[in-house]
């Protein structure tokens, strides 16, 4: 499969890039995508939630009324969960939400996400980009040239470029990552995936291991 390479103004450069069918044209596996996205989102959770249970609430342990003869239910402590200010029953406790996922499943998920982008015609190949200084207006001009200013975009760079990253940081719909940091969630969350020309071969090398 071949895709045309465009420049920063969205014009055809006359060059084409051949995409590997084993990476960009597989039958997407929805279950692998689900597991990979689930792991990614789970890893973002801090897990620091905590509420006080009955044995942790500060208060008197004095019996608040006699056991019998009141006409109501017996009650032994104001720290009981059905009283205002009492402890919570089975409340949340700090925990680690992360879990292990096999490397091959993660690779299959990323291949499936990339294949979905090809199926949806949401993948473009752009010549490599570099800025002399971090300026947001330069990145906005890049998006305007590609007619993507109103869409959520994910730009994949072959190597780390601090100026490009800083130029996009203030734009809520723009995301820039290096080819080593591409994950399933970010690919699927973007309306348009923009691969730099130099990123294609590196991405194929990583996903073919």
The confidence score (pLDDT) of residue 209 equals 76
Say yes or no: 78 and 161 in one domain. no
pLDDT per residue over 49-62, tens digit each? 999 999 999 988 88
Q: What is residue 172's three-state secondary structure?
A: coil
Say yes or no: 186 and 201 in one domain. yes
pLDDT per residue over 139-185, tens digit each? 999 999 999 989 999 999 999 999 999 999 999 999 999 999 999 99
Say yes or no: 190 and 115 in one domain. yes
CATH number at residue 156: 3.40.1370.10
Q: What is residue 13's three-state secondary structure?
A: strand
Q: How many domains does one find in the chain? A: 2
The confidence score (pLDDT) of residue 31 equals 97
Which residues partner with 27 through β-bridges? Answer: none
Measured in degrees and rounded to the nearest 5, phi and psi for residue 203 equal: -65, -40
pLDDT per residue over 197-206, tens digit each? 999 999 999 9
From 149, 181, 150, select the one nearest 165 (Cα to Cα): 181
* The model's pTM: 0.83
pLDDT per residue over 26-47, tens digit each? 999 999 999 999 999 999 999 9
Rounded CA separation 141/138 (Å): 5
Domain end residue (candidates: 57, 73, 96): 96
Say yes or no: 177 and 123 in one domain. yes
Measured in degrees and rounded to the nearest 5, phi and psi for residue 6 equal: -110, 160
Token pair 């003869």 is found at: 69
Give pairs for 168-172: CB < 8 Å, separation 24+.
168/136, 168/139, 170/136, 171/136, 171/139, 171/140, 171/143
pLDDT band at residue 109, thresholds of 50, 70 and 90? very high
Residue 88 pLDDT > 80:
yes
pLDDT per residue over 116-136, tens digit each? 999 999 999 999 999 999 999
The confidence score (pLDDT) of residue 13 equals 87
* Residue 93 CB burial class (10 angstroms; 0-12, 13-18, ≥19): exposed
The confidence score (pLDDT) of residue 157 equals 94
Say yes or no: 118 and 102 in one domain. yes
The confidence score (pLDDT) of residue 12 equals 86
The percent of residues above 90 in pLDDT, for the chain, comes to 77
What are the C-alpha distances in Å from 1 to residues 18, 92, 133?
A: 6, 51, 36
Say yes or no: 177 and 137 in one domain. yes
Domain end residue (candidates: 80, 96, 112): 96
pLDDT band at residue 19, thresholds of 50, 70 and 90? very high
* Residue 32 CB burial class (10 angstroms; 0-12, 13-18, ≥19): buried
* Domain interval for residue 8: 2-45+98-207
């Amino acid at each position: 499969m071949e895709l045309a390479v465009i420049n920063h103004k969205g014009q055809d450069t006359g060059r084409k890039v051949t995409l590997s069918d084993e990476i960009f044209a597989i039958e997407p596996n929805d279950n692998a995508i689900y597991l990979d996205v689930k792991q990614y989102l789970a890893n973002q959770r801090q897990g620091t939630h905590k509420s006080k249970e009955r044995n942790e609430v500060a208060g008197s342990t004095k019996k608040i009324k006699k056991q019998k003869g009141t006409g109501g239910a017996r009650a032994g402590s104001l720290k009981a969960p059905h009283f205002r200010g009492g402890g919570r029953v089975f409340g949340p406790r700090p925990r680690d939400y992360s879990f292990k996922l096999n490397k091959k499943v993660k690779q299959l998920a990323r291949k499936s996400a990339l294949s979905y982008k090809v199926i949806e015609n949401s993948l473009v190949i752009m010549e490599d980009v570099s800025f002399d200084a971090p300026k947001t207006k330069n990145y906005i001009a890049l998006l305007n040239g590609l007619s993507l200013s109103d869409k959520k975009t994910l730009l994949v760079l072959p190597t780390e470029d601090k100026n490009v990253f800083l130029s996009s940081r203030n734009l809520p719909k723009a995301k820039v990552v290096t080819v080593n940091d591409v994950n399933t969630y970010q690919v699927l969350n973007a309306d348009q995936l923009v691969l730099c020309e130099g990123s294609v071969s590196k991405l194929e090398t990583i996903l073919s291991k």
